[in-house]
Amino acid sequence: MCGIAGLIGQDPQARIGAMLKAIEHRGRDDEGVWASPAINGEGQRVTFGHRRLSIIDTSAAGHQPMLLADERLVVVLNGEIYNYRELRAQLTTKGHRFRTQTDTEVLLAAWAEWGEECLTRLNGMFAFALWDDQERALFLVRDRVGIKPLYYAHHAGTDAGEPQAGCLRSDSLVFASEVKSILASGSVKAELDRESLHQFLTFLWVPDPNTLFHGIKTVPPGHLVKWRDHELTVREWWDISFDTIEEGRSDAWWQEQVLETLDRTVKLEMVADVPLGSFLSGGIDSSSIVALMKNHSHGRRIGTYTIGIEAEDLRYDIIPDDVQWARRVNQQLDTDYHEIMLQPKVAELLPKLVYHMDEPAIDMAIPSYLVSRAARETLTVMLSGMGGDEVFAGYPIMPRSDAVSMLGESGALTFTLGGLSKSAGLPQLKLGWMVVSGPDAIVAGAMERLELICDTYLSVSTPVQLAAAKLIASGKEIREAIKERVQQNYHALERTAKVHPSVRVIEPEGGWSVVIEVPETAGEDALVQRILHEAHVVVHPGYFFDIQRGAHIVVSLLPPPDVFADAIRRVLDQVAAS
């Protein structure tokens, strides 16, 4: 990764150094700064800064900020344009000449040739800032799905004075790859955005374009921010389209299309002039990527890195152990395999992770950091299966769309369940969010009644037409229904296990799952499946994990979605009827 930063204001050069220092970790191969002459009567200038991690054309020719030959355009780029070679060939036929082998120079030429329309031609992950001196406009652009980060703060006026929350003193705009770089400029005072904190605690992330810092925003994925004469405009340049739907195709045809697309993508992402490898969990996503990398590695062993969790710690987690599966894939593909085990002291990393992420660390931040740190000792670029679950509906909640249709329409109100998710402990069994729409009076009444099962209202417009609520299983009817089913499953498993002397059923503190302890043999999976069958316990996809190399298996006792969906529906029917 690289780091970019910049300002539009009076004397911005005095502060760009501090901004780049704050993101030095993003690239230690090179640093560059560019400043324009005054761009208006107020004496404001444009300044770009760049911290480089060299990947393509590692020579000094790739130095940034990079200028077009006539110096009309200036750019700082973080990321990669994977199809830059194809674009370079097209642009050469149109008369463009190139001095380097970089994708950054191709981006400059593409913008000069096609303007903003060039964005749809780019295949890659990127965030960049471009100054057009002829148009006297600054553009901030982020890739289609927001892989590369880009933040900014804007103030339409030019009043001097001490920095205030969300405002800039004599600056009109400041941007960077990380929030801490913007704060290092001295232009923006760090102040918590309480509404964003509310959203973070609800979703574990802040919806775009807001951040946890008041006045600092993120360029949304697939969007372009344009600054000109103190005015800011934001537009979407890409969104996924379902206008064209292939019908009548066989499964074999689709399988071939997916394989060809994945193979082409992996080959494109392997373009690098530095050592390259992949993370490996042993799952379908990363294993497929490593297998395809092997096809394009010209005999070179692919460096792979896997992170594991100690057996004792796995008893308190719902995430399966990757190590055993990663080892099997390694045996199959003969990679240059590396294995890192998480240790209890990882909590000491939290302050560092929060510093680098500019927000509280959640989910897989710690293992991702540790495996990346280990990989950096031998490799510079790592491919990953991240995003595969989103593309192929791999999360356990996604196949359960039937639960949404169960709610359907109820009288004059329409209820749409936005997602089902689980968390440790029954009182915090999250059902996601729900949209309630209908006549004002009925929706308002529903909101009052829904307090029985709603933890937080996210938004209520006036007049009330749409309200979204995070549903928590705190309503007595729902909670009791789930508890009853969990206990039934637990006791059924406990009774069945007594018939098998080598099997022990352990109830963890969480209360919604059990650990089945079985002998570590080649047939432990089959034995557990037999016990589940004999106990008449249905295990849903995504809730059955072989997590300790055969020694322990954790099984969710959560009932299927219809149990609590029916309970919710009964409450909603009562609301609509009243």
What is the CATH classification number for the domain harbouring 467?
3.30.1360
The structural domain count of the chain equals: 4
CATH code of the domain in which 366 resides = 3.40.50.620
Cα–Cα distance for residue pair 414/545, rounded to 1 Å = 36
Which residues on adjacent β-strands are paired with residue 276?
A: 381
Please state, for a pLDDT cut of 70, what percent of the chain lies above it. 67
Assess if residue 22 is contained within a domain.
yes
Query: Phi-psi region for residue 79, left (φ > 0), alpha (ψ -120 to 50) or beta?
Result: left
Kindly state whether residue 246 falls inside one of the protein's structural domains: no
14 and 112 assigned to the same domain: yes
Residue 354 burial (CB count, 10 A) = 13
The answer as to whether 241 is a domain residue is no
* 485 and 470, same domain (yes or no): no
**Whether residues 125 and 52 fall in one domain:** yes
Q: What is the pLDDT of residue 445?
A: 54
Looking at the structure, tell me whether residues 8 and 20 fall in a common domain.
yes
Query: What is d(CA 390, CA 230) in angstroms, rounded to the nearest whole number?
Result: 38
> If pLDDT is split at 50, 70 and 90, which confidence band does 504 have?
confident
Based on the domain organization, do 289 and 371 belong to the same domain? Answer: yes
Q: Which of 555, 556, 507 is nearest to 527 (CA)?
A: 555
Per the structure block, which two tokens stand in for 397?
A: 């909640």
Determine, yes or no, domain membership for 292: yes
245 assigned to some structural domain: no
Residue 16 lies in a domain: yes
Q: What is the pLDDT of residue 131?
A: 97
Q: Report CA 282 to chain centroid distance, whole Å.
A: 20
> Does one domain contain both 471 and 529?
no
The yes-or-no answer on residue 2 being catalytic is yes
Lowest mean pLDDT among 95-109, 230-244, 388-402, 536-550: 536-550
384 and 407 co-located in one domain? no
Mean pLDDT over residues 503-511, rounded? 65
CATH number at residue 39: 3.60.20.10
Lowest model confidence (mean pLDDT) among 303-312, 382-391, 501-510, 528-537: 501-510
Domain-embedded: residue 244: no
Residues 412 and 506 in one domain: no
Q: Domain boundary at 236, 269, 292, which?
A: 236
| Tokens matching residue 438 | 């209908």
Write down the pLDDT at residue 389.
76
Tell me, what CATH number does 492's domain have?
3.30.70
Region 29-34 average pLDDT? 90
Q: What digits encode the pLDDT tens for the residues 215-246?
A: 999 999 999 999 999 899 999 999 987 777 77
Range in 159-173, 457-471, 514-528, 534-548 with the lowest mean pLDDT? 457-471
Q: Which of 2, 118, 167, 454 is catalytic?
A: 2
CA 26 to chain CA mean position, Å: 18
For residue 562, how many C-alpha atoms fall within 13 Å in the half-sphere facing its CB? 4
262: left (phi over 0), alpha (psi -120 to 50) or beta: alpha
From 352, 376, 392, the end of a domain falls on 392
Q: Look at 26-30, 97-101, 105-109, 563-567 and tell me which has the smallest mean pLDDT.
A: 563-567
- Residue 123: inside a domain: yes
Q: Are 205 and 324 part of one and the same domain?
A: no
Domain shared by 484 and 502, yes or no: yes
Same domain for 12 and 108, yes or no, is yes
The domain boundary residue, chosen from 203, 236, 269:
236
CB-side exposure of 46: number of CA atoms within 13 Å?
A: 22
At residue 212, the pLDDT reads: 93
Expressed as residue numbers, the domain containing 174 is 3-236
Question: What gap in Å lies between CA 323 and CA 549, rounded to an integer?
Answer: 8
Per-residue model confidence (pLDDT) at position 320: 60
Residue-wise pLDDT for 83-99, tens only, equals 999 999 999 999 999 99
Residues 36, 113: one domain? yes
* Alpha helix stretches (DSSP H) within 148-283: 179-184, 194-203, 251-269
CB distance 476 to 520 below 8 Å? no
Q: Is residue 10 very low, low, confident or very high in pLDDT (cuts 50, 70, 90)?
A: confident
